[in-house]
Amino acid sequence: ELKVEQNPLFLSMQEGKNYTIYCNYSTTSDRLYWYRQDPGKSLESLFVLLSNGAVKQEGRLMASLDTKARLSTLHITAAVHDLSATYFCAVDIANYGQNFVFGPGTRLSVLP
């Protein structure tokens, strides 16, 4: 059975600190996606990682993909309060978009 795991599930950090969220998955896939969800809202696409070694950066967030280790990371640099949200990774297990499996999400709270 496919599993997509994230850790930590809850993260409380102070502004200005760095931290990494991990996404592990149990099947072969070359496509991994990161999303952000604010409370009560829909999902916003953050990063699309389509090959081994892919690295994408946007502002204080950087995502990477290691398909051999079946691991993706979302690194937060110098966190600010506006980054508080729940972050989901999703694995495209069919590799053609027909079956995304989402992780449970990491709820991030950035404290002043």
Partner 1 sequence: SQTIHQWPATLVQPVGSPLSLECTVEGTSNPNLYWYRQAAGRGLQLLFYSVGIGQISSEVPQNLSASRPQDRQFILSSKKLLLSDSGFYLCAWSDGTVYEQYFGPGTRLTVT
x-or-dash string of contact with partner 1, 41-70, rule CB under 8 A: xxxxx--x-x--------------------
* Closer by beta carbon to partner 1, 22 or else 77: 22
Smallest gap from residue 47 Cβ to partner 1 (A): 9
96: contact with partner 1 by CB under 8 A: yes
Residues 5-34 that bind partner 1 (CB under 8 A): 31, 33
Could you please report the per-residue DSSP string of the chain? Answer: ---EEEE-SEEEEETT--EEEEEEESS--S-EEEEEE-TTS-EEEEEEE-STT-EEEETTEEEEEETTTTEEEEEE-S--GGG-EEEEEEEETTSSSS-EEE---EEEEEE-
Q: Does 88 bind partner 1 (CB under 8 A)?
A: yes
Among 39, 26, 18, which residue's Cα sits nearest to residue 87? 39
Q: Please state the closest distance from residue 66 (CB atom) to partner 1, in A.
A: 20
Distance in Å, CB of 18 to partner 1, minimum: 25
Residues near partner 1 (CB under 8 A): 31, 33, 35, 41-45, 48, 50, 88, 90, 92, 96-105
